[in-house]
């Protein structure tokens, strides 16, 4: 009865480690850093350092396999995008050593490709932003002539705010599109897509599926995020939105999904209808909120991996807030600088409970997080 959690130097991995540890499950915190955030938790029973999955993918898989040979674990839980995709790709190899509750590598790549996802959404009659595919740079002029600005430039397989930029004019579209290509070294077949900008609040529908059958759902509204133009949420609230949840259920059911995923939406201002933005085929940054709202996804995932299935969870608590206090402070400063106001200022700001990192029960990770922040500022001379 033990779990190996990767990418443990992240707040969401810390939430996973705390969830499993509180259930009495031994957890090893694995990361490509020497002293990770998760390793500082009192619920961590062991640590393991591996090579960077981005920089050394083959060495990463060999290291994981070697570690599991000498230190058997019942379940392997990847957290970040890079480790999730690699572990899914080599699931057949690693699956002889441990249980890996992930969908197939092919399905994960398909939903992560924003162009292919939009096509699937259209086939299912799911509302999504108007999307333009660029085959040649000369297509930009045609798109600029018929699209309504602002437009969003997105790398096809990015997550969060990585590889995303915004253009408010035809000239900006050409300049920023070229900049994204150069920055990320993209060849012609991998050119970014261009989408209409959907004005509205961001939502996430987080789900657990067992071979195509839904087992748990938790929906949240993004109250603040950083970067403020669109990035990971820093303050969010659990809500219920049946129409949005049905769309997410239908979409993931179409892929016969297995494991965790979060479907992101915008609730369009003009008609208050949900518009599909993307799918995160992995654990998400706000997973702590789901746990607080009564849907303990890490423990449910563990149980499903060990027992083959898990009893469906019906409903979740609404009106629950969670935040990453330090990241939210940066977001507040950015909102003040860009908009001269704090977005969604309310009771959660006056009573900053339910932090992703700060915990009276498990205090050491907060100090590790502060230390990491200071190290970053010193190294980058912020």
pLDDT of the residue at 347: 52
Give DSSP secondary structure letters for 39-91.
GGSTTEEEEEE---TTT-HHHHHHHHHHHHHHS--SEEE--SHHHHHHHHHTH
Give DSSP secondary structure letters for 150-177.
SEEEE-TT--TTTTEEEESSHHHHHHHH
Q: Give the whole-angstrom CA distance, residue 198 versus residue 201.
A: 9
Asked whether residue 380 is assigned to any structural domain, the reply reads no
User: Do 205 and 192 share a domain, yes or no?
Assistant: no
CA distances from 242 to 220, 249, 299, 315 (A): 12, 10, 24, 11
Q: How far is CA 91 from the centre of its chain?
A: 20
User: Do 153 and 268 share a domain, yes or no?
Assistant: no
Check: CB of residue 275 under 8 Å from CB of residue 200. yes
pLDDT of the residue at 375: 65
CATH for 37: 3.40.50.20
List of residues 6+ apart from 369 with CB closer than 8 A: 11, 37, 326, 357
Structure tokens, 100: 């890996």
- HSE (CB half, 13 Å, CA atoms) of 253? 10
Bridging pattern class, strands 164-167 and 131-133: unpaired
Q: Give the whole-angstrom CA distance, residue 150 versus residue 166.
A: 7
pLDDT of the residue at 379: 60
User: Do 33 and 17 share a domain, yes or no?
Assistant: yes
User: Do 46 and 175 share a domain, yes or no?
Assistant: no
pLDDT of the residue at 381: 46
User: Do 72 and 43 share a domain, yes or no?
Assistant: yes
Structure tokens, 207: 């789900």
- Residue ending a domain, among 196, 218, 249, is 196
Asked whether residue 378 is assigned to any structural domain, the reply reads no
Nearest to 114 by CA among 280, 269, 268, 272: 280
Q: What is the pTM of this model?
A: 0.92
User: Do 305 and 225 share a domain, yes or no?
Assistant: yes
Check: CB of residue 257 under 8 Å from CB of residue 107. yes
Q: How far apart are the first and last CA of the chain?
A: 44
Structure tokens, 129: 């932003």
CB count in 10 Å sphere of residue 86:
21
User: Do 169 and 231 share a domain, yes or no?
Assistant: no
Q: Which domain holds residue 304?
A: 200-351
User: Do 35 and 137 share a domain, yes or no?
Assistant: no
Q: Give the whole-angstrom CA distance, residue 262 versus residue 279.
A: 6
Asked whether residue 364 is assigned to any structural domain, the reply reads no
Structure tokens, 13: 């991995």
Asked whether residue 54 is assigned to any structural domain, the reply reads yes
Which regions in the chain score pLDDT beneath 50? 380-382
User: Do 187 and 227 share a domain, yes or no?
Assistant: no
CATH for 157: 3.30.1490.20
Asked whether residue 359 is assigned to any structural domain, the reply reads no
pLDDT of the residue at 137: 93
Check: CB of residue 84 under 8 Å from CB of residue 53. no
pLDDT of the residue at 226: 83
Nearest to 167 by CA among 137, 133, 129, 140: 140
User: Do 331 and 225 share a domain, yes or no?
Assistant: yes
Asked whether residue 158 is assigned to any structural domain, the reply reads yes
- Residue ending a domain, among 151, 174, 196, is 196
Q: What are phi and psi of 26, to 5 degrees?
A: -65, 135
User: Do 21 and 78 share a domain, yes or no?
Assistant: yes
User: Do 244 and 332 share a domain, yes or no?
Assistant: yes
């Amino acid at each position: 009865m033990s779990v190996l959690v990767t990418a443990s130097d992240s707040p969401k991995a810390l939430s996973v480690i705390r969830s499993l540890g509180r259930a009495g499950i031994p957890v090893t915190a694995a990361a490509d850093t020497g002293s990770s955030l998760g390793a500082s938790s009192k619920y961590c029973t062991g640590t393991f350092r591996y090579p960077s999955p981005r920089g050394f993918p083959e060495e990463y898989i060999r290291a994981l396999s070697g570690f599991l040979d000498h230190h058997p674990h019942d379940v392997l839980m990847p957290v970040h995008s890079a480790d999730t995709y690699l572990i899914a790709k080599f699931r057949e190899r690693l699956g002889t050593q441990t249980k890996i509750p992930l969908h197939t590598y092919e399905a994960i790549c398909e939903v992560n490709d924003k162009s292919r996802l939009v096509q699937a959404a259209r086939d299912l009659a799911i509302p999504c932003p108007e999307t333009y595919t660029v085959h040649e740079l000369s297509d930009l002029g045609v798109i600029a002539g018929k699209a309504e600005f602002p437009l969003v430039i997105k790398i096809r397989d990015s997550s969060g705010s990585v590889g995303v930029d915004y253009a408010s004019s035809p000239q900006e579209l050409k300049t920023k599109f070229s900049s994204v290509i150069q920055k990320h070294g993209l060849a012609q077949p991998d050119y970014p897509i261009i989408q209409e900008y959907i004005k509205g609040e961001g939502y996430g529908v987080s789900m657990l599926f067992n071979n195509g059958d839904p087992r748990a759902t938790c929906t949240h509204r993004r109250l603040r995020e950083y970067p403020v133009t669109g990035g990971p949420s820093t303050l969010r609230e659990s809500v219920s939105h049946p129409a949005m949840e049905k769309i997410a259920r239908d979409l993931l059911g179409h892929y016969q999904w297995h494991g965790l995923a979060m479907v992101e939406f915008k609730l369009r201002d003009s008609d208050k209808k949900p518009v599909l933005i993307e799918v995160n085929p992995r654990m998400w940054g706000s997973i702590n909120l789901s746990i607080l709202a009564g849907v303990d996804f890490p423990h449910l995932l563990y149980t499903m991996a060990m027992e083959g299935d898990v009893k469906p969870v019906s409903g979740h608590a609404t009106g629950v807030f969670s935040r990453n206090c330090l990241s939210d402070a940066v977001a507040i400063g950015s909102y003040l600088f860009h908009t001269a106001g704090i977005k969604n200022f309310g009771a959660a700001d006056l009573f900053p409970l339910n932090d992703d990192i700060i915990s009276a029960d498990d205090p050491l990770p907060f100090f590790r997080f502060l230390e990491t922040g200071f190290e970053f500022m010193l190294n980058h001379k912020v």
